[in-house]
Homo-oligomer: A and B are copies of this chain.
Amino acid sequence: MKIVLIGAGNVGFHLGLAFFEKGENVIQVFSRKKSKALGLAKKIDSKYTTSLSRINKNADLYIIAVHDDAIGEVTEKLVQAGIKEKLIVHTSGATPQSLLSSAKATRYGIFYPLQSFSLERYPNFTDIPICVDAKRNDDLLLLKKLAIKISSKVYHVTDENRAILHVAAVFVNNFSNHLFHIGSKIVDKSALPFEILLPLIIETVNKLNAGTPKEMQTGPAKRADLDTINKHLEFLKDYPEYSEVYKVMTKGIENQ
């Protein structure tokens, strides 16, 4: 299968590498920034372009991995460039397929890897769930076949369920990282390093293998230990924002 990768940011970069490692043929990489397009193209033995009007028209699949708010515009330009009859997918968790159809794509779908990518970190792609969907059944099958080559966890996920997943992902990824940030700022008030909290954080996640989060819940809120909760709130009185998080989360745990 010949693939054109549109976007060489975090998602495009890691998808490109994963395809290349499994012998898939990325024939062209697009990025507006030459350094990004060229950098990725070199790594995966591909051509590159910085102009959507020069997109290769002979690919089987066009994967749009750009910012959510640019997906519509990029799709329109692809269609204008004459690739209306080809399969066009995007990698966004939060964007419905209808955006591709209103941009006049006729064969379209989703190829959404459920992971938080950064350029510096190379996660094991085999473990990353890939959520696929497509307007046409034959295209869905094609996307599943491709996804299975780079991941052992491939799910057919509708627009509605993908939107749900994306909200859940924000809670477990973005928001828990923010809690780690608050933890680090609080520990900064002591003479101790943030690293002292890492074994506890790792165990919090490892426990998810032993039961549901609700079953694994511990702490003062869980055991309604008001003495400790009040001590903590007293400590936090100079940090109104952290105090607000503490109260909201404590109430949530009490109501689990």
Residues on B with beta carbons closer than 8 Å to the beta carbon of A211: 120
Select the stretch in A55-63, A137-145, A217-225 that faces chain B.
A217-225
Of B175, B235, B252, the contact of A167 (CB 8 Å cutoff) = B235
Q: Among residues 197 to 244 in chain A, which have CB atoms less than 8 Å away from a CB atom of chain B?
A: 197-208, 210-214, 216-222, 225, 227-228, 231-232, 235-236, 241-242, 244
Q: Roughly how many angstroms separate A120 CA and B213 CA in the complex, as a whole number? A: 15
Known: A115-B199, A168-B186, A252-B182. A176 touches B204 (CB 8 A): yes
Cross-chain contact A208 with B219 (CB below 8 angstroms):
no
Protomer copies: 2
Q: How many of A's residues come within 8 Å of B, CB to CB? A: 91
Identify which of residues 58-90 in chain A touch chain B, using a CB-to-CB cut-off of 8 Å.
68-69
On whether the beta carbons of A201 and B176 are closer than 8 Å, the reply is yes
Q: Which of B169, B248, B253, B255 contacts A200 (CB 8 A)?
A: B169
Q: Which of B116, B128, B167 contacts A186 (CB 8 A)?
A: B167
Which A160-214 residues have C-beta < 8 A from chain B? 160-161, 163-184, 186-187, 189-192, 194, 196-208, 210-214
Q: Known contacts being A171-B245, A179-B171, A213-B181, is A153 close to B208, with CB within 8 Å?
A: no
CB pair B174–A121 under 8 Å, yes or no, is: no
Smallest beta-carbon distance A96→chain B, Å: 10
Per DSSP, chain A at the interface is helix
Taking a contact as CB atoms under 8 Å apart, the answer to whether B190 and A165 are in contact is yes
B115 engages A252 (CB within 8 Å): no
A127 interface contact, C-beta 8 A:
yes
* Chain B CB within 8 A of A27 CB: no
Shortest distance in angstroms between A80's beta carbon and chain B's nearest beta carbon?
Answer: 24
Partner of A118, one of B169, B194, B201, B210: B210
Residues 102-137 of A contacting B (Cβ, < 8 Å)? 114-116, 118, 120-121, 123, 127-129
Inter-chain contact B180/A176, CB cutoff 8 Å = yes
Interface, chain A (partner B; CB < 8 A): 68-69, 94, 114-116, 118, 120-121, 123, 127-129, 153, 155, 157, 160-161, 163-184, 186-187, 189-192, 194, 196-208, 210-214, 216-222, 225, 227-228, 231-232, 235-236, 241-242, 244-246, 248-249, 251-253, 255-256
Q: Known A-B contacts: A165-B192, A168-B183, A172-B179. Give 13 more (CB < 8 A).
A: A68-B228, A120-B211, A121-B210, A157-B192, A164-B192, A164-B235, A165-B187, A167-B232, A170-B220, A171-B246, A175-B245, A176-B201, A245-B249
